[in-house]
Amino acid sequence: MFKLDGHVALVTGSGQGIGLATALALAGQGADLAIVDIDAARTEAAAERVRAHGTQVLALTADVTDEGQVSQLFDRCIEKFGRLDILVNNVGGSGGSAIPLENTPLEVWDRVLTFNVRSAFLCTRAAIPHLKQQGGRVILLSSMAGTNRTIIGGVAYATAKAALLGFTRQLAHELGPARITVNAIAPGIIQSDRIEKAFAAHPTASREQVLTQIPLGRLGRVEDLAAAITYLCSDEASYVTGVTLEVNGGINFR
């Protein structure tokens, strides 16, 4: 089930965390991978782990908020594999925005919107001509912050993640005739070093207090998200587009 043999996927921010887990999951289903990260050492280490699945891997170091670098990384992907079937826009983050709006510097606002929204815009725009060749999949990484609110983030992060949901819906409408599906994943609170540091820095929220709000009683794992993304990338999800799949343990019912 969810077999992706013969498919090529490009996952941004796949040197660690959710991006790496997603790359491993897609490779586990037979996809060839373009690993993209801004840190060269991290990219190479991730590529080695993905190669263990026996699929072809291309390690690319790029800043996906830079238009020129984005253009070059897609050129290299096509040169290597000859096609692109899946784009996972994973790059993002809160970027130190967990402060009240009245105390938010303009540079923090701009940085968070750039990480999350500009990166998705540039990568998706560059991917579309290649995805149109045979149809394909675009996945956006939003957040519970975009569908509801953020407990440990801030208004810049919530705004950026909500923007990705509008991007998803409109692009699904636009690209449907080309047999390209566009969907978003909205994670809840995922267990990671970054989240633990955010808890430690937050004046009121604690890990234990948040756990009481999650019906499943635990934080999410990166593998939980990778499994959901793999489904949306598969042929089994060929009639699913424009949706936001919330993977949050029940903390946000809608």
Residues designated catalytic: 157
Classify residue 89 as exposed, middle or buried by CB count within 10 Å of its CB (0-12, 13-18, 19+).
buried
Interatomic CA distance for residues 123 and 125, integer angstroms: 6
Q: How far apart are CA 123 and CA 10, in angstroms?
A: 10
Written as six digits, the tokens of 235 are 């042929």
Which secondary-structure segment (H or E) carries 137? strand 136-141
How far, in Å, CA of 185 to CA of 11, rounded?
14
DSSP 35: E
Contact 89, 119 (CB under 8 A): yes
Q: Within its chain, how far is the Cα of 30 from the centroid? A: 20
* Distance separating alpha carbons of residues 65 and 67, to the nearest angstrom: 6
